[in-house]
């Protein structure tokens, strides 16, 4: 099998990861070695040297026909013919959920992503995302807070991390038994379309896709479309009507995606066992996963002075009834208290 992998890698480099060309050659010649040997144009590539580079960097190739290729990923339309993996690929029976959203995320959006991912990781879920800035980064960070596993799917070659600001984050993922995946070989050129194509892998690996803050022109919407094609659940966090970061999210909900406001919603909707410990909610606000409660706590924290329900509603762009429900819970759990002038942490 190693020989096939060597030739797969060589062809992937020569064809610059052209999926259509690669699948056509495999279909015609049945093996990557035979396809390589029948290439018509002159080839100046050292197959063994390319293979040794992968070995040196501890990068493994898993071909689609192998038993350890992720079974969910194998099911999708246009599955990658092979994936490059750095780190430890989670087992097939481990539940994986994608948490994605815009790169230009709000502070609240990043906090929701981090809280949801942390709570999901606490329940044994592997978090899948794209290592991008914004929501993706927060998703990985949330999983890592409890030393949970997380998978980062790259839209560029396996040898480098993009964006560069996330190199330390990528290292932490690998140090915590997670992995980095790409269908692009070492030194393969990066094209903008690659980042859209990789989204099919993010959703393909996952049982469901959680969308947090998706504008109309968002890669997260592209991931949601792939998820729908792949018969995956699409779960969406709602937001204010006048916030552009939620325009795509609200459209998905209108089209039939499930509305969620907590990690518990995700676990219940997917019929997964819930292991959330109630006592943790009483001792630390960091364990709150309800989106509206997180928003209210953030507003009160930043205000530093008591705020009325009307004022909170105006800032959060939420219905006063929703504010009342969330505040009732926060008071009962001891996170905030009511004063003559309003509510305060």
Determine, yes or no, domain membership for 147.
yes
Determine the structural domain holding residue 250 and report its residue range. Answer: 96-276
Rounded to whole angstroms, the Cα distance separating 282 from 285 reads 8
162 and 184 inside one domain: yes
DSSP bridge partners of 342: 339
Determine, yes or no, domain membership for 79.
no
User: What is the number of domains present in the chain?
Assistant: 3
Determine, yes or no, domain membership for 90.
no
Determine, yes or no, domain membership for 29.
yes
- CATH no. for residue 284? 1.10.10.10
Rounded to whole angstroms, the Cα distance separating 231 from 341 reads 50
125 and 161 inside one domain: yes
146 and 263 inside one domain: yes
185 and 295 inside one domain: no
Q: Tell me the pLDDT of the chain (345 aa) as tens digits.
A: 689 999 999 999 999 999 999 999 999 999 999 999 888 776 778 899 999 999 999 999 999 999 999 999 999 999 999 999 999 999 999 999 999 999 999 888 998 999 999 999 999 999 999 999 999 999 999 999 989 999 999 999 999 988 889 999 999 999 999 999 999 999 998 888 999 999 999 999 999 999 999 999 889 999 999 999 999 999 999 988 888 999 999 999 999 999 998 899 999 999 987 765 443 444 355 567 788 888 898 898 888 788 998 899 889 888 888 888 788 778 767 788 888 888 888
Residue labelled with tokens 């269908």: 183
What's the predicted TM-score (pTM) here? Answer: 0.80
- CATH no. for residue 151? 3.40.50.450
In what side-by-side order are the strands of the sheet with 59-63?
A: 59-63, 82-87, 179-182, 150-153, 126-129, 96-101, 208-212, 233-236, 258-259
258 and 164 inside one domain: yes
296 and 244 inside one domain: no
């Amino acid at each position: 099998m190693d020989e096939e992998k060597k030739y797969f890698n060589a062809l992937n480099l020569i064809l610059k990861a052209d999926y259509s060309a690669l699948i056509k050659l495999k279909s015609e010649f049945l093996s990557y070695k035979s396809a390589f040997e029948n290439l018509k144009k002159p080839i100046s590539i050292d197959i063994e040297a390319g293979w040794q580079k992968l070995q040196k960097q501890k990068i493994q190739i898993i071909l689609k026909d192998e038993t350890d290729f992720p079974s969910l990923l194998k099911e999708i339309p246009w599955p990658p013919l092979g994936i490059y993996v750095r780190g430890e690929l989670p087992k097939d029976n481990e539940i994986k959920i994608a948490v994605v959203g815009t790169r230009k995320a709000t502070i609240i959006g990043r906090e929701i992503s981090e809280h949801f991912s942390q709570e999901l990781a606490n329940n044994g879920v592997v978090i899948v995302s794209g290592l991008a800035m914004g929501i993706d980064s927060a998703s990985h960070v949330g999983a890592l807070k409890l030393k949970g596993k997380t998978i980062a799917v790259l839209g560029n070659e396996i040898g480098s991390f993009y964006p560069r600001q996330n190199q330390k984050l990528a290292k932490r993922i690998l140090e915590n038994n997670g992995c980095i995946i790409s269908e692009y070989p070492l030194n393969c050129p990066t094209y903008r379309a690659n980042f859209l194509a990789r989204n099919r892998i993010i959703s393909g690996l996952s049982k469901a896709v959680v969308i947090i803050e998706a504008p109309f022109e968002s890669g997260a919407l592209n991931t949601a479309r792939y998820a729908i094609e792949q018969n995956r659940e699409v779960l969406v966090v709602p937001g204010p009507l006048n916030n552009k970061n939620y325009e795509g999210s609200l459209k998905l909900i209108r089209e039939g995606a499930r509305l969620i406001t907590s990690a518990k919603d995700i676990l219940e909707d997917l019929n997964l066992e819930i292991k959330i410990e109630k006592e943790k909610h009483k001792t630390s606000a960091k364990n709150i996963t309800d989106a509206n409660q997180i928003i209210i706590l953030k507003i009160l924290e930043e205000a530093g002075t008591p705020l009325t329900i009307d004022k909170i509603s105006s800032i959060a762009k939420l219905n006063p009834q929703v504010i009342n429900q969330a505040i009732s819970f926060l008071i009962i759990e001891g996170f905030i208290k009511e004063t003559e002038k309003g509510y305060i942490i």
